[in-house]
């Protein structure tokens, strides 16, 4: 299992809508995430900075392949079409990233 953390900005005018859609995530999207071997997935919002922090545990053997399959799923593409315009990627993210990956520096079970 690998713990993963990512962050991204959230546009101020989209906060309420983002919260609303995430209070009722589509079942097809949840199924795609589960099939990608992602468990214990949470997204946190920090206001007033409007930063989103996502955390999950990856239980597969090939995250790149699982992520690619997740991105090919019609439900996930529609979900991203809904959510991506609400987000503001960090200018410091790596090339090719939407959500910026974070380094784990501490963990306690």
Going by C-alpha positions, the residue among 12, 1, 3, 23 that lies closest to residue 87 is 12
Please tell me the distance from the alpha carbon of residue 30 to that of residue 44, in angstroms, as a whole number: 17
- Rounded to whole angstroms, the Cα distance separating 53 from 13 reads 18
Q: Of 2, 3, 19, 22, which one is the catalytic site residue?
A: 22
Residue 107 annotated among the catalytic residues of the structure:
no
Residues making up the chain, counted from first to last? 109
Cα–Cα distance between 73 and 79 in angstroms, integer?
Answer: 10
Active site residues: 22
């Amino acid at each position: 299992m690998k713990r993963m953390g990512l962050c991204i900005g959230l546009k101020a005018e989209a906060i309420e809508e983002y919260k609303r859609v995430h209070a009722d995530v589509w079942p097809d999207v949840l199924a795609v995430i589960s099939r990608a071997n992602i468990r214990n997935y949470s997204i946190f919002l920090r206001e007033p900075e409007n930063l989103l922090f996502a955390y999950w545990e990856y239980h597969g053997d090939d995250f790149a392949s699982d992520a690619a399959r997740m991105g090919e799923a019609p439900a996930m593409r529609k979900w991203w079409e809904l959510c991506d315009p609400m987000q503001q990627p960090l200018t410091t993210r790596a090339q090719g990233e939407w959500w910026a990956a974070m380094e784990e520096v501490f963990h306690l079970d």
